[in-house]
Amino acid sequence: MFFLWPEYLWFLPALAMLPAVYVWLLKRRVKTSLRYSSIGIAREAAAGRQWRRHLPPALLLLACCGLLIAAARPVARIPLPWARSSVVLAIDVSLSMRVSDIKPTRLAAAQEAAKVFLQELPKNIEVALVTFAGSSQVTQRTTLERAPVVTAIDGFQMQLGTAVGDAIVLSLAEIFPDQGIELGEMTFGSSKMQGRSLDDKAKPPPKPFTPVAPGSYDSAAIVLLSDGRRTTGIDTLVAAKMAADRGVRIYVIGLGTVEGDASTPDGTAIYMRLDEPTLREVARMTGGEYHHAGSAEALRSVYRNLGSHVQVLTRETEFTGLLALVSAMVAMGAALLSLLWFGRVG
């Protein structure tokens, strides 16, 4: 736990002096002298209720401590199953996805499994969709709505090539829009070197970031599905290092045959070997997991298991309001007890 305004905590020693002031005021109070035939009898009569006299001031002191700590704005990392998090689905739409070793085709099986995943994912988790082949694009921006994502999944258009690294970088840009991650600049170089159109607006400088431990960012995850190896774009492991430095886990699903020979529905032979070593390394570097799904049912099972990984989110949560509310209730309780027992507040 830490405090956003820790300077307020310097007032706590002053509160620690209040009990001494309270005792001093009790001794200083002028009392009317009463004569009893036996002082011992009076003391015995009052002894059973002495604690009532001190309980309201003690509760008030406790409330003041709570309010002072609340003023310092305490923040703690708390697991919040209901808090928002996001998942980016990065799905391969290269021409090899037409292969029918997974019935009816790899692409159809992937589409069906993705829809099952969306149905079982908690409604408060945002989803984005990235498709990649020779180029990569954000097909659906991050949203809580499932219908637009399903529509985008149904509208996949296959292309030549496989740019796995580009898909990872584009997914990171969607997760961290304020970090200035530019796929174009990483591919073709800085816009300052190439020149810029007069119509282009100057972009704000990207916010610097400090590398964190792999898998430590709990607010987002990437689910990467591919059936082949990188043929173009940014190196896959370079992109995986970017994700690892930002703490984002990548759950990788290798789809299709590992040996390499397959054919399309029209009988055209395709040589396709799944690059399992690289995909496993992507999962290892980022603290994620690798699964090989050789059938449609296995693919759906993998997606179901992935859904359980991203349901609980741990975030830094400020609980100033809760602490202030509890302290105010304690103060009200002290006032009510004082009014009930002594007929006055104070």
Per-residue pLDDT of the chain (346 residues; tens, 9 = 90+): 788 888 888 888 888 888 888 777 777 765 544 444 455 544 544 554 577 777 888 888 888 899 989 999 888 877 655 555 788 999 999 988 888 878 888 899 889 889 988 888 878 788 999 999 999 999 999 999 999 999 999 999 999 989 999 999 999 999 998 888 888 877 765 444 444 444 445 555 556 778 999 988 878 889 999 987 888 999 999 999 999 999 999 999 988 776 655 554 554 444 456 788 999 999 999 999 899 887 667 666 666 666 655 555 566 788 888 889 998 999 898 888 888 877 776 6
Which tokens sit at 255? 């789809």
Distance CA(110)–CA(100), nearest Å, equals 12
CA 139 to the chain's CA centroid: 22
pLDDT of residue 35: 47
φ, ψ at 60 (rounded to 5°): -65, -40
pLDDT of res. 101: 78
**pLDDT at residue 200, as a whole number:** 47
Closest C-alpha to 248, from 201, 206, 213: 213
In 121-264, which ranges are continuous DSSP H helix? Answer: 147-154, 164-175, 183-188, 191-194, 236-245
**What backbone phi and psi angles, to 5 degrees, belong to 272?**
-140, 115
Q: What number of other Cβ atoms are within 10 A of residue 134's Cβ?
A: 16
What's the pLDDT at 188? 65
Candidates 199, 198, 110, 194; CA nearest to 158 is: 110
pLDDT value of position 316: 73
Q: Please tell me what DSSP assigns to residue 287.
A: T
**91 near 114, Cβ under 8 Å?**
yes
Chain mean position to CA 76? 14
pLDDT at 45: 47
Neighbours of 222 (CB within 10 A): 27
Q: In whole angstroms, give the CA distance from residue 111 to residue 131.
A: 12
CB 102 within 8 A of CB 294: yes
Q: So where are the chain's domains?
A: 2-26+51-77+317-342, 82-178+211-311
Write out the two tokens for 341: 């027992």
pLDDT at 239: 96
Please tell me what DSSP assigns to residue 91: E
CA distance linking residue 260 with residue 105, whole number of Å: 16
For domain 82-178+211-311, give the CATH number: 3.40.50.410
SS3 category, 99 = coil
